[in-house]
Chains A and B, each alone.
Chain A
Amino acid sequence: MKILIVDDSIFAQKNIIRLLKEEFKDAEIITASDGLDGFESCKKFKPDYIFIDLLMPKMNGKELIMSIKENNIETKIIVVSADIQIEVKKEIENMGVFKFINKPFNREKAQKISQLMRGEINS
């Protein structure tokens, strides 16, 4: 499985990698630190799943999702963000994302999203 993590925080990247590696030991995971870099990485790496933070420099998470959709890049989008306004959350969910996860991204959430990614449970 190929996973791309796009988050401007190194700490957040490391946290998500560590918890996902517990679930997907053989996964190939790469990172990007802003939306623009994330978009380029997405085109080249062609991840099965992309984890996206919303507040990022250069290109924010919402813009990145729009770019992925507009360019018909086939990847499942998982948004990981700290509390945001309900309207923004609804808007993002309506953009066809696979799942929206509220930070903190912890082991419990990592286990649940992994089950979803493996198709063991439905959302």
Chain B
Amino acid sequence: MLYEEGDNLSDYAINDPIYDIFIFETLKILDEIEVMVLECEKKSNFNDYKNIITRNIHTIKGNAMTLDIDDIAKLSHACEDLVCNINRNKVENVMDIADIILEYIDYLRGRLDNLNDNDSSEEIYSRILIRIEGLMKNNNVYRRNSI
């Protein structure tokens, strides 16, 4: 397990239809983020989309927290941190940032395909987190406290 062993701590049973809403909405948001990130790659900057990307990742984080899906919540928190610091002009490696966000999108799509299994994706999860922390550290930016 990626995190503590234990039952689902959310207020909803794992077969509750609200999970379908979460999956549907998250996939829709991920599609939107992907289009924006690819556009940013083309333009070599995040100027037009950084605020929308931040807001969208923030939404995914909040919703994942509600359902107690820790890995999605924590990875979203880290990605939000990364994009927030583009806002403050502290992290500027556009291609690296875009690549990390695209990897985050792929990871989430995989997880949403099978929410009951987070064991098989542990390695990818750790790799993305390490990449984010490495990139921020290289730019002398430090992450906010974890959620």
Contacts and interface: CB of A to CB of B under 8 A. Distances in A.
B147 A83 contact: yes
B58 interface: yes
Contacts, number: 54
A9 interface: yes
A82 B18 contact: no
From A12, A81, A83, name the one whose CB has the most chain B CB atoms within 10 angstroms: A83
Interface in B19-36: 21-22, 25
B58 A55 contact: yes
From A55, A104, A106, name the one whose CB has the most chain B CB atoms within 10 angstroms: A104
B18 A106 contact: no
B61 A82 contact: yes
What size tier do the contact residues of chain B reach?
20 to 34
A9 B55 contact: no
A57 B10 CA distance: 27
Nearest to A110: B11
B31 to A, nearest CB: 15
Contacts of B68: 104
A55 B57 CA distance: 11
Given A55-B55, A82-B58, A83-B147, A11 B11 contact: no
Contacts of A104: 10, 62, 65-66, 68
Nearest to A83: B147
Given A14-B18, A105-B66, A106-B66, A19 B11 contact: yes
28 contacts: A9-B59, A9-B62, A9-B63, A10-B21, A11-B66, A12-B59, A12-B63, A12-B66, A14-B18, A14-B21, A15-B18, A15-B63, A15-B66, A55-B54, A55-B55, A55-B59, A57-B55, A82-B61, A82-B62, A82-B147, A83-B77, A83-B144, A103-B65, A104-B10, A104-B62, A104-B66, A104-B68, A106-B66
Interface of B: 10-11, 18, 21-22, 25, 52, 54-55, 58-59, 61-63, 65-66, 68, 77, 144, 147
Interface of A: 8-12, 14-15, 18-19, 55-57, 81-83, 103-107
